Structure 1
Amino acid sequence: MKETTTIRAELEQYIRREGITISKFGENTGINAGTISAIINGNRPIAMLLLDRIGAGMGLEEGSLYELYIDEFIRNTAPNWRRVRPFLHRCAELDKLDCIKQVVEFMMDYLIYAPALFETAEELFGKGKHEAAAIIYKNVSDSEKYQHSERLALCQYRLFTIAIGDDQDENLWAATHFESFVDRLGEADQLEALKDLANTYASLRRWDKVEWLAEKMGQKAKVQYEQKYGNTRRSERGKEPKGPLFMYIVYSYVMRAGVWDERGDYQKALEYVSLYSDLSWVKEDTEEARRLKALCSNWAEANGYLYQLMSGSLDVIPLYVDYLEKNEGEILVGLHKILVAANRYDFNVDHVLQRFEKQIEALADQHTKVGTYTEQMSADLYARFLAEMACYDLNKDRYTKGMKFLLESLSYSVMLNGNPVTIRCVGLFEKYRHTASSEDKEEYKNLLGEVEYIHDKKDRFYSARI
């Protein structure tokens, strides 16, 4: 198909080449013969539905005529949003991302269409068409980069959400880039954005950041809670946050407890647990609120056991294990912490591991999202769990089993790119190198080669961002 051709010309040539009448082509495609004739004669524009029918009638692959459509009916005519919007949606369905890019860049020459393009991006984002939506968000964001609009901040929030994945270097860049836009969001979106940022930094183990963001989220949520339910309540409120307001207050306590856990101050962590174990102050009384209050009570019980265990109170293990059996979503984090305590205080937990043997085998397929943890937090946790299993077995002179877990942990941490578990695994392997088989040493050598490649890639990544 020549670049200088048109859809009209292609259609007319097809009808002549196939030796069929316009009426016959109309029968084949379900398009009125008069409409086809008007299109060929240039007297009628082609709507999106007709475009797909014409392409199918000509035996072409879906979307084959889209490049021509852009030139003929979008670039070379006055902007027509009623034509552009369905075209963008159809391109997203077919993953015709280059077509979306061309159309959006053209439409952004007319800034009056920025709000409509943003709404289309929101629609695509809601449908899970993230790559297509990202193209629009990026263009709208670029057009408003010198402004302080809420729409600019929302574009950056969506781009941050879309960017988060397995690559921790990319996640760090996305988080730091988005952070400055949070305060430009509306009150309701700020809470969810702060929670998402805190979760991202938690997976990156940037605990000072997590603490600061969690505290900020809690403060903002308390102000909004007072405005909605307290003596200073406002008669009119705008957009409501994604979840019940009290949950953002509770989640700030949960995250700050987790920060003090990582710092090794378990008494401080337990103080924060006490703040969300009693929710008698909560005003909401919907079915969803009652469900979430029960969930918070569940968290308080689990984390109470967990922080007591980490402080050396081994007598809580039976209670914690009973709890884990009733709450499968907490098994990974629970077993990880039990192993950390066992390795730190040198006690035997073989009976616990045997009790959860089937669940441990299943974790390899389930760790991508565990319980209420984000995918990134669950992935990081699984790599750490494997490392603790390796350490536990190696300390017990179960070298074959320990090396298996060690190499699995190293392999998985390499996949996460930038995960600090890699250093822990390297240290363990070198300590127990004398127990490794030749096959283990070869696999270890190959994994270190991947680590070196990733570090070279990381250097190029940051150089490109400068």
Structure 2
Amino acid sequence: MNGHLSLILNANPPRPMTIKQLDAIGRAFDQPEGWLYELYPEECFRHEKVSRPRVIPYFIRCVQIGRFDCVETVVSIMLEDLKSSLPILFEVAEQLFHTGLKQESIPFYRYVIDNERNNFSDIFVMSQYRLFVASQGLDAEENWKAVIRFEPYRKRLPENIQLDAHLKLANLCSTLQKWKDMERYADELRELAIALYENELRKKKSTKGVEPLKAAYHLVVYYGHGFLLKADALSKQERYEQAIEYTLGYADLSWFEVLDELGRSEIEKFHLWAKANLYNLDLMVGRIGVLPEYIQFIKENPQEILPSLLCIVKSANKYKFHIEDVLNLFANEISHFGKYEDIFNKNRNLRFRFELSVYYFQRGKYVEGLDNISMCIDLYQEMNSDQAFLMECIKLYEKHSSKTKEEQK
């Protein structure tokens, strides 16, 4: 450090200081993190040009310790030269995104989006996609805004990333109950996966050693989800016979070529999900006789308890059959549904509690019904779900409120 310090202070011209060196000096003088950071921008610019090796680590450290004031100061200077600055800001955003600081990456992607004049440039389109991913959370209204904002750019991405984009769009629309949109994105995902699969088969026959497709998941995952999500969207619209057709489309994917060990394990997952969903669809069309077999399946596959019980209660409400023994059997698991933190299972728990409250009210169990409708409203507030659903909850409560105790009201 002594040698570096001498060059920084005495060399002619002085050697530029790195942010790590400034941090080391701060520690030597027992100063807090971020000491003298407001002076460091001078090191980021030499001969009126921004220094990539110094400004990127500086931005990363500023974000890590919360010195966003310093970031804004430097960015305001950088934006005077968009051609050289936007790729740097994009690189900072990518480093933050890929190290788990997704929320912190958002302002940097916004700098690119707000200042890139070419809406077809790689960094503009990728910034739109990253912003879509980073913006997702528990708030339903914000998630829908993220879908609307990103949707026009989904087909401008490279095809391997388009796979992920369509998968995420369809899944997010599922939590938002936007069934038509979910169906459309599932169709696009399936069509793209089929086209890329055919291309992979051609590559396999080629003698030129062509690079295989690089994607986040095995290609069979996207292909299978194209069918699974389509079937789910159809089921939610009560188009059950069509949903069965698409469910059978991913029930057995053993014919899929270009498989490795990972691909084969994914096929087993789809087989399991198809089995569960075929039970669900049987129940929703009134084939109640499958219930004992379905219960055994759930016991053997506890990860399917929440989505399966949601379907069982919904079917019980539709066809007016009793499921107290089923609820008692899984009472312990039901009591832990509130521990889920991810948006998909929170949304399932929300819908489950609503259907369960309907079930209890139908059977005169007003205390249990009100308890579950209260859970619905709590979850609604946490997730900022659609107001139409809140109105359903309130109407259900008002319908039965005269039969509830004052303390419950």
SS in structure 2 of the partner of residue 242 of structure 1:
coil
The counterpart of 1:267, out of the listed 238, 241, 265, is 241
The residue number in structure 1 matching 2:391 is: 423
What is the alpha-carbon distance in structure 2 between the residues aligned to residue 52 and residue 104 of structure 1?
A: 21
SS in structure 1 of the partner of residue 275 of structure 2:
helix
The counterpart of 1:255, out of the listed 229, 253, 270, is 229
The residue number in structure 1 matching 2:2 is: 32
The residue number in structure 2 matching 1:227 is: 199
1:368 aligns with 2:368: no
Q: How well do the aligned residues superpose, as a CA RMSD in angstroms?
A: 2.2
The residue number in structure 1 matching 2:115 is: 143
What is the alpha-carbon distance in structure 2 between the residues aligned to residue 238 and residue 84 of structure 1?
A: 36
| 1:44-123 equivalent positions in 2, closer than 5 A | 44-70=15-41, 72-74=42-44, 78-110=49-81, 111-123=83-95
Higher relative contact order (CA 8 A, sep 6+): 2
The residue number in structure 1 matching 2:374 is: 407
SS in structure 2 of the partner of residue 438 of structure 1:
coil
C-alpha contact (below 8 Å) 1:168/1:418 kept by paired residues: yes
C-alpha contact (below 8 Å) 2:26/2:33 kept by paired residues: yes
Q: Against the structure 1 CA distance between its residues 316 and 244, is the aligned structure 2 distance closer, same or farther, given a 3 Å change threshold?
A: same
SS in structure 1 of the partner of residue 267 of structure 2:
helix
C-alpha contact (below 8 Å) 1:39/1:45 kept by paired residues: no
Q: Which runs of no fewer than 5 residues in structure 2 stay unpaired? A: none
| Distance apart, 1:317 and its partner CA | 1.0
C-alpha contact (below 8 Å) 1:277/1:297 kept by paired residues: yes
The counterpart of 1:379, out of the listed 346, 352, 362, is 346
What is the alpha-carbon distance in structure 1 between the residues aligned to residue 205 and residue 405 of structure 2?
A: 68
The residue number in structure 2 matching 1:7 is: none
The residue number in structure 2 matching 1:291 is: 265
| Distance apart, 1:232 and its partner CA | 9.8
**Amino acid in the other structure paired with 1:98:** D
Q: Against the structure 1 CA distance between its residues 257 and 34, is the aligned structure 2 distance closer, same or farther, given a 3 Å change threshold?
A: closer
Larger radius of gyration: 1
Report how many residues are paired.
Answer: 403
The residue number in structure 1 matching 2:406 is: 438
SS in structure 2 of the partner of residue 413 of structure 1:
helix
C-alpha contact (below 8 Å) 1:134/1:162 kept by paired residues: yes
**Per-residue CA distance 1:46-86 (angstroms, 9 max, x = gap):** 2111110122223222113212212x323575311111121
What is the alpha-carbon distance in structure 2 between the residues aligned to residue 390 and residue 439 of structure 1?
A: 18
C-alpha contact (below 8 Å) 1:266/1:310 kept by paired residues: yes
| Distance apart, 1:291 and its partner CA | 0.6
C-alpha contact (below 8 Å) 2:86/2:116 kept by paired residues: no
**Amino acid in the other structure paired with 2:322:** N
Q: Against the structure 1 CA distance between its residues 217 and 33, is the aligned structure 2 distance closer, same or farther, given a 3 Å change threshold?
A: closer
What is the alpha-carbon distance in structure 2 between the residues aligned to residue 141 and residue 247 of structure 1?
A: 31
| Distance apart, 1:399 and its partner CA | 1.3
SS in structure 1 of the partner of residue 118 of structure 2:
coil
| Distance apart, 1:152 and its partner CA | 1.1
SS in structure 2 of the partner of residue 432 of structure 1:
helix
The residue number in structure 2 matching 1:215 is: 187
**Amino acid in the other structure paired with 1:53:** A
What is the alpha-carbon distance in structure 2 between the residues aligned to residue 436 and residue 159 of structure 1?
A: 46
Report % sequence identity. Answer: 30
What is the alpha-carbon distance in structure 2 between the residues aligned to residue 37 and residue 123 of structure 1?
A: 30
What is the alpha-carbon distance in structure 2 between the residues aligned to residue 145 and residue 326 of structure 1?
A: 55
TM-score, normalised with respect to structure 2: 0.92
| Distance apart, 1:253 and its partner CA | 0.6
| Distance apart, 1:238 and its partner CA | 7.4
C-alpha contact (below 8 Å) 1:387/1:421 kept by paired residues: no
C-alpha contact (below 8 Å) 1:226/1:233 kept by paired residues: no
SS in structure 2 of the partner of residue 165 of structure 1:
coil
The residue number in structure 1 matching 2:361 is: 394
